Structure 1
C-alpha cells in the first residue's frame, strides 16, 4: 500500500487534461500534485473523526492528548480506554461513540480495511459508510488518503471554487452539478481533486505573498 507513483500521476493528469480544459490549466500551472497519502488504518479514520467540526488548532491539541493517553491509537487501545479517559482528551461524547463503533466494526470483521483498499471504489465507499460513525465525507477522504485514484470528496467547496476560477465562470457549480461533472473524470476523480486543491492552494499562497 503506497501513494500513487509519479508515472501514475503523469498518466492521470495527461488523461484529464485531454478531456477538461480547466484541469489542463491547473496541470499546466501546478505540475504534478502532491498526494495526501496516509496508511489505510484505523488510526487515520480516528484522527479524521477527532478533527471534524472544530478548528484545526483545537483538533491538533485534542489529538495530541489522545496519542499521549493511548500511546498507539488502535482499535484495541480505544476499546480498552474508558469513556472518562477519552472524554478527558477533549473528545465529545458522539465522537467517542463513533470511535468505538468503528473499532468494533473492524474487530468483528464487519469492516475490513484491507478489503476496502482493494475493492471497486463505489463498493469500498459503501462498506465504509455502512459503519456508524463514518459518513460520506470521512469515507471519501479516507479513500483519497489511501491513494485511490478515483475517490472523490463530494460537495467539497474548495474544489468547486477552484474549478470556478479555473473555468472563469461567474458562479460555482452546486454539489449535484459538480458531482455530475466529476463523473466525466472517472477513473481519475481523485487526481482531479488533488489538482484542484493544489492549484487553489498555490494561488492563495501567491496572493498572501504579495
Structure 2
C-alpha cells in the first residue's frame, strides 16, 4: 500500500496549479509506502523523535528482533529497562509503555480513529504522551491514509512551498491558501513538496537561503 498518488489525484492537482503540475510532469508518480498498523506506527514515530532516520531504523530493528510483533502485550511484557536497552531513552520508553497501557485498558481506542474527522484524529493522537500535532499529521498521511493533509509545522513542506512559489517565508494565511488549492488531495501534494525540498528539481533554490543577513 502507498500514499494515494494516482491518476485522479494527479489530474486534479495539475488542473488546479500549473507550477505544481509541472513538477508532477517532471517527477511522475511518487510511491511512498504506508505503515498501516496504527499501534506499531505510533511506536515507530515515538522512537524516531529527535534522532536521525538511520538511528530510528536501527532501534526499530532491534525492537522487532526482541519482541517479534510490536504490539501492546509484547511491549508491556518487555518493560521499561528492556525497552531502553534496545537503544531508546527512558522517556521514550515511558511514552511507549503509557500508550500500550492505554490501548490495553481501552482508554485509547485505535479502531475508532478511522471514524473521526481529521481534526478529531489530531486531537485524539495529541492526547497521547510524546505525540504532537506534527506526528499526528504524519500518522494521518502514512498510516491512516487520509487524503487531505498538509502540515504547517513540517519544515520540508515549508521549504517546498518556498521553493516552488518563490516565497521567502510561508505564513499561516499563505499556507492556508495553498492548502485550500490542493484540497481534497493535499496529502498527494505533500509528497511533491517534500521531493522539491529534497532537491528533486534541479536548479530550484530556497529563497529563504538568499535572505540578506
Q: Does the alignment reach a TM-score above 0.5?
A: yes
Any conservation in 2 of the 1:40–1:117 contact (CA below 8 Å)? no
Q: 2:149 aligns with which of 138, 148, 151?
A: 151
1:191 to 188, 192, 199: 188
Give, in whole Å, the separation in 1 of the partners of 2:33 and 2:20: 19
2:108 corresponds to: 111
Deviates more, 1:108-117 or 1:143-152: 108-117
State the shift of 1:178 in Å: 2.2
CA distance, structure 1, for counterparts of residue 159 and residue 4 of structure 2: 27
Q: Distance in 2 between matches of 1:160 and 1:55?
A: 20
Q: Structure 2 matches for 1:59-70, cutoff 5 A? A: 59-70=56-67
Pairing partner for 2:162 from 161, 164, 167: 164
Q: For residue 32 of structure 2, what is the aligned residue in structure 1?
A: 35
Q: What CA distance in whole angstroms lies between the structure 2 residues aligned with 1:40 and 1:153?
A: 21
Please report how far the alpha carbon of residue 175 of structure 1 lies from its aligned counterpart in structure 2 after TM superposition.
5.6
Structure 1 residues 47 and 121 mapped into 2: Cα distance closer, same or farther (>3 Å)? same
1:94 aligned to 2:94?
A: no
Q: CA deviation at 1:190?
A: 0.8
Which sections of structure 2, spanning at least 5 residues, go unmatched?
204-213
Question: Does the Cα contact within 8 Å between 1:44 and 1:142 map onto a contact in 2?
Answer: yes
Selected match of 1:80 from 77, 80, 102: 77
Aligned ranges 1:115-134 → 2 under 5 Å = 115-134=112-131
Q: 1 CA distance for matches of 2:182 and 2:4?
A: 19
Deviation at 1:35, TM superposition (A): 2.9
Whole-angstrom CA distance in 2 between matches of 1:112 and 1:186: 28
Size of the aligned set, in residue pairs, is 202
Gaps of 5+ in 1: none
Question: Any conservation in 1 of the 2:4–2:147 contact (CA below 8 Å)?
Answer: no
- What whole-Å deviation, never above 9, does each CA across 1:8-54 have from its counterpart, x for those lacking one? x3212222222223321221211222133111321111011111101
Structure 1 segments, 4+ long, off by >3 Å, are: 2-6, 174-177, 198-202
C-alpha displacement of 1:179: 4.4
Q: Secondary structure at the match of 1:195?
A: helix
- Taking structure 1 as the reference length, the TM-score comes to 0.84
Query: What is residue 21 of structure 1 aligned with on the other side?
Result: 18
Q: CA RMSD in A?
A: 2.3
C-alpha deviation, 1:5, in angstroms: 5.8
